[in-house]
C-alpha cells in the first residue's frame, strides 16, 4: 500500500508540474513521472516480496525476484537521465535566446502570445 501511495503522490505532483508551464517545472514534472513509472515496474516485478536473484548453490527460482523488471528500471533510469540532460540544455538555450519571450505562466496578457 505504501508503494501505491508513493506512486500516486509522485504522479500527481509530476502531472501538476507539467501542466503548470515553464521549462524548469516541466523538467521536474517529467522526473517525478519517470520515478512513478519506475516504482510501478519494480512493484509489479515483486522485488519487495521475494529474495534477491543472487546465484548460489541453494537458489530456489520460486522464491527469487524476477530480474527482468529490475533491468527495465535500470534502463529507464539511464534513459530518463539522458532526456533530462537534453531538456535542461533545451531550456537553458531557450531562456538565453533574446528573440523569444513567452512571458510568465501566470501572466494573462502573455498567455495570448503563447503558441
Hey, how many other C-beta atoms are within 10 angstroms of the C-beta on 95? 12
pLDDT in tens, 44-77: 877 666 766 677 777 777 777 777 888 999 999 9
The domain limits of the chain are 2-51+64-97
All residue ranges of the chain with pLDDT < 70 are 47-49, 51-53, 97-115
pLDDT at 112: 55
Amino acid at each position: 500500500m505504501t508503494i501505491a501511495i508513493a506512486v500516486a503522490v509522485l504522479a500527481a505532483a509530476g502531472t501538476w508540474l507539467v501542466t503548470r508551464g515553464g521549462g524548469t517545472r516541466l523538467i521536474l514534472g517529467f522526473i517525478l513521472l519517470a520515478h512513478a513509472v519506475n516504482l510501478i515496474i519494480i512493484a509489479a516485478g515483486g522485488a519487495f516480496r521475494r529474495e534477491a536473484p543472487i546465484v548460489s548453490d541453494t537458489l530456489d527460482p520460486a522464491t527469487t525476484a524476477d530480474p527482468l523488471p529490475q533491468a527495465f528500471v535500470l534502463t529507464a533510469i539511464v534513459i530518463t537521465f539522458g532526456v533530462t540532460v537534453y531538456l535542461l540544455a533545451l531550456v537553458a538555450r531557450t531562456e538565453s535566446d533574446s528573440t523569444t519571450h513567452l512571458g510568465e505562466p501566470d501572466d494573462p496578457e502573455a498567455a495570448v502570445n503563447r503558441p
